[in-house]
């Protein structure tokens, strides 16, 4: 099931919440704007009423048009307060259209005007709006920083509307970070405030987000209960975008409960309301959810149609997060109708966009770390400043009553305070040094670990069989190799030797004990022993090679009951008599002939210490022209995923190999990779994956 990114509307401009007077006739307001007899302040106030009107009827384009007119007129008449007001309106307009970059631009110009003019009345609103735009762009550290600034300002001013808004938004960030306990705490605080001030929009928003937390905790019945409460209140409001959000979440919860048709009905209502509101980002989100539902209903062409509509919106508005999801779902849809070219193209787009989001997230985390250091320094400086102000006030009081000793008292206070400042200065510098040292130490250790692992990867890559070497000895082949971590416990290895009976080419596909760094260590050891057996000891039958490697493993590392080693297949291609022989430990080759799978024998024991330690058998691979042989480890079949989060399993893997065996080997590799990623979805890869296919 695709994760949904929710776009939450919350009226962040104080005037929108407290504005209760009846609007003048809108045409009258427009005419008065052009009346030369009206003074500038009255004209600007009328434009604000026009903007409020268009916001409430969700005519966002008209809102932006008039807010820019108001800004230009305020700039011309040097009305700085109104400049900030209309910059806020313009940003809110672009935010409602889903154009977050433009919204951020206008909000930041508003902050700059506040710093230039000293008008602080709208500072909390701008921080909240700017934080919401950064949240929509997935920059969570930046969003949280701005929300906390807004909350601090509103708490000092006891502004309940702003407090409830900031608390809701802080809850959103904590929810996205997976801190659901903190998210619920802020949501319920915000809900209480919204109920006190009769803010129905805020009540609906909080019910929606509380429901979403319980949905993430897989408590679907409680989540549905809160969504229905949101709908009960949502039908009383004029805010189409917020109502659309409620319908979307009801669709999503019924989708999770497998009520697909009911879910589609709710999605249709959500889409209609987003269109009325002019919210393209919201339409994109719902179209993604509809496409996902169509795939479960096997309506693949319908899914492709709605997903392509979503793609048009996302590429035009640069909605990277939503486009990433759309590309992934499109790849699944095309794969199901066997249009592998389009499936592969969309999967490539998906990986590229995912890489962009990861880089953006890392940059955000680094910036947040730097900001936290700066905030700690500012807290120290603020404490010093407060103590300084308190000392000065005390000195002034004492001066009134003890004028005769004022000079001595002030001198003593000054000396003590100077000493205190000096100590505080030393403490601040020491804290900076400690923070820098700790950060440097963490960075160095992380770099050392990663450098070591990457160096191990280079070593492992060098020892693995190069594709060019395999191609030189076997014309038609593919290699699908997907390590779980940077280094791998799975490995494929090849060598060739010239014997008196002719040239022999060996190919091994093996799964060492463990994965990651321990598995990679075992792989290097196993490759070394295979190489030693064939190239140094001159042991040529594959079964005798396995016997030798097992002996070396037992002698070297199988102490105190440990059973380290590997499962795998070693194949020998004899150029002299054109035979193919192999040894197989806990794994068997797969041979497909004319669309049928032939079961091949293998030994049920590992290469290493095990319950059985009899000699390995030598098997002959009887083959015909155009047979396709596959050698694989257990990672592909053991991967969890699919609609129910279950294992892929060997039967499904073998059926897939039968279906694709007639295609070119390059196509087979691409299809196997795409099928694996589609099955895995958002789940973690559980093991290393290695599959080699050869057309004989």
Q: Which residues contact 424 (CB under 8 A, 6 or more apart)?
A: 380, 383, 384
Tokens read off for 397? 């009081």
DSSP string, 531-544: HIIIIIS---SHHH
645 φ, ψ (degrees, to nearest 5): 70, 35
User: Residue 618: its pLDDT value, please?
Assistant: 95
Q: Which residues contact 190 (CB under 8 A, 6 or more apart)?
A: 163, 164, 165, 167, 168, 171, 202, 206
Question: Quick one: CA torsion of 243, 249, 252, 257, rounded to 10 degrees?
Answer: -120
User: Residue 630: its pLDDT value, please?
Assistant: 96
Write the DSSP symbol of residue 603.
B
User: Residue 407: its pLDDT value, please?
Assistant: 59
271 neighbors 280 (Cβ within 8 angstroms): no
Write the DSSP symbol of residue 13.
S
| CA distances (Å), origin 680, targets 361, 486, 686 | 23, 18, 9
Tokens read off for 505? 């080419």
CB half-sphere exposure, 695, CA atoms < 13 A: 15
**Intervals of the chain under pLDDT 50:** 1-24, 362-373, 376-377, 380, 384
d(CA 149, CA 11): 18
User: Residue 544: its pLDDT value, please?
Assistant: 95
| CA distances (Å), origin 424, targets 435, 478, 696 | 16, 67, 78
User: Residue 494: its pLDDT value, please?
Assistant: 94
Q: Name the residue among 70, 60, 144, 73 with its Cα closest to residue 102.
A: 60
Q: Is the dihedral of CA 474, 479, 483, 487 positive or negative?
A: positive
Tens of pLDDT, residue by residue over 244-288, are 888 898 988 888 888 888 989 999 998 998 898 888 888 899 999
User: Residue 13: its pLDDT value, please?
Assistant: 40
572 φ, ψ (degrees, to nearest 5): -120, 125
Write the DSSP symbol of residue 597.
E
Residue identified by tokens 């909240």 is: 128
User: Residue 513: its pLDDT value, please?
Assistant: 83
Residue identified by tokens 């709710």 is: 266
Q: Cα angle at 612 between 609 and 614, to 5 degrees? A: 100
| CA distances (Å), origin 516, targets 482, 483, 664 | 12, 8, 32
Residue identified by tokens 């399993």 is: 649
* Helices 200-216 & 180-196 angle (0-180, nearest 10): 160
User: Residue 420: its pLDDT value, please?
Assistant: 65
d(CA 351, CA 359): 12
d(CA 249, CA 215): 10
CB atoms within 10 A of CB 23: 13
- Run of H or E residues at 492: strand 490-499
Can you list the positions of beta strands (E) in 346-411?
Answer: none
Rg over CA atoms, the chain:
34
User: Residue 533: its pLDDT value, please?
Assistant: 92
DSSP string, 258-275: T-HHHHHHHHHHHHHHHH
Q: Cα angle at 127 between 189 and 3, to 5 degrees? A: 65
């Amino acid at each position: 099931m695709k994760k949904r990114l929710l776009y939450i509307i919350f009226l962040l401009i104080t005037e929108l919440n407290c504005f209760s007077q009846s609007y003048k006739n809108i045409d009258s307001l427009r005419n008065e704007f052009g009346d030369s007899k009206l003074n500038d302040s009255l004209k600007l106030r009328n434009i604000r009423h026009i903007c409020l009107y268009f916001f409430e009827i969700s005519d966002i384009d008209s809102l932006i048009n008039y807010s820019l007119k108001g800004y230009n007129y305020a700039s011309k008449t040097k009305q700085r307060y109104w400049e900030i007001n209309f910059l806020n309106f313009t940003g809110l307009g672009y935010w409602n259209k889903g154009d977050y970059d433009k919204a951020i631009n206008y909000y930041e110009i508003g902050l700059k005007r506040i710093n230039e003019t000293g008008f602080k009345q709208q500072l909390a609103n701008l921080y909240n709006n700017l934080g919401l735009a950064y949240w929509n762009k997935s920059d969570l550290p930046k969003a949280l920083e701005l929300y906390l600034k807004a909350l601090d300002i509103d708490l000092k001013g006891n502004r309940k509307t702003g407090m409830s808004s900031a608390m809701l938004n802080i809850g959103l960030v904590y929810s996205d970070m997976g801190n659901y306990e903190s998210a619920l705490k802020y949501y319920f605080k915000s809900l209480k405030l919204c109920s006190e001030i009769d803010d129905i929009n805020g009540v609906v928003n909080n019910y929606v987000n509380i429901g979403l937390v319980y949905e993430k905790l897989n408590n679907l019945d409680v989540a549905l209960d809160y969504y229905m409460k949101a709908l009960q209140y949502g039908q009383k409001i004029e805010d189409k975008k917020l109502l659309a959000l409620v319908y979307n979440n009801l669709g999503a919860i019924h989708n999770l409960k497998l009520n697909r048709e009911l879910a589609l009905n709710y999605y249709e209502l959500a889409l209609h309301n987003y269109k009325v509101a002019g919210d393209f980002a919201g339409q994109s989100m719902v179209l993604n959810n509809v496409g996902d539902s169509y795939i479960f209903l096997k309506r693949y062409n319908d899914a492709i149609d709605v997903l392509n509509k979503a793609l048009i919106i996302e590429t035009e508005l640069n909605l990277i997060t939503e486009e990433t999801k759309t590309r992934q779902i499109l790849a699944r849809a095309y794969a199901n109708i066997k249009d592998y070219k389009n499936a592969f193209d969309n999967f490539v787009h998906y990986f590229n966009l995912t890489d962009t989001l990861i880089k953006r997230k890392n940059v955000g985390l680094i910036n947040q770390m730097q900001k936290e250091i700066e905030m700690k320094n500012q807290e120290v400086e603020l404490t010093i400043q407060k103590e300084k102000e308190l000392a000065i006030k005390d000195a002034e009081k004492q001066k009134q009553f003890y004028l005769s000793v004022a000079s001595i008292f002030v001198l003593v206070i000054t000396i003590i305070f100077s000493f205190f400042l000096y100590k505080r200065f030393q403490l601040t510098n020491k804290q900076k040094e400690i923070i820098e040292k700790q950060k440097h130490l963490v960075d160095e250790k992380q770099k050392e670990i990663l450098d070591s692992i990457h160096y191990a990867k280079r070593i492992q890559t060098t020892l693995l069989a190069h594709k060019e070497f395999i191609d030189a000895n076997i014309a038609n082949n593919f290699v699908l190799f997907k390590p779980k971590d940077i280094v791998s416990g799975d490995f494929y290895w090849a060598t060739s030797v010239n014997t008196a009976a002719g040239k022999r080419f060996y190919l091994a596909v093996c799964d060492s004990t463990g994965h990651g760094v321990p598995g990679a260590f075992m792989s290097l050891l196993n490759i070394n022993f295979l190489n030693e057996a064939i190239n140094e000891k001159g042991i040529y039958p594959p079964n005798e090679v396995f016997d030798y490697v097992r002996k070396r493993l037992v002698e070297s590392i199988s102490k105190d009951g440990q059973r380290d080693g590997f499962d795998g297949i070693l194949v020998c291609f004899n150029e002299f008599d054109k035979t193919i022989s192999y040894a197989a430990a806990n794994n068997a080759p797969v041979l497909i002939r004319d669309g049928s799978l032939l079961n091949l024998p293998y030994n049920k024991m590992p290469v290493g210490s095990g319950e059985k330690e009899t000699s390995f058998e030598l098997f002959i691979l009887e083959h015909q022209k155009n047979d396709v042989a596959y050698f694989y480890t257990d990672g592909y079949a053991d991967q969890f995923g699919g609609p129910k989060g279950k294992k892929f399993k060997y039967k499904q893997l073998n059926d897939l190999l039968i279906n694709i065996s007639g295609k070119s080997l390059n196509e087979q590799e691409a299809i196997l990779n795409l099928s694996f990623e589609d099955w895995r979805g958002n789940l973690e890869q559980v093991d290393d994956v290695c599959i080699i296919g050869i057309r004989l």
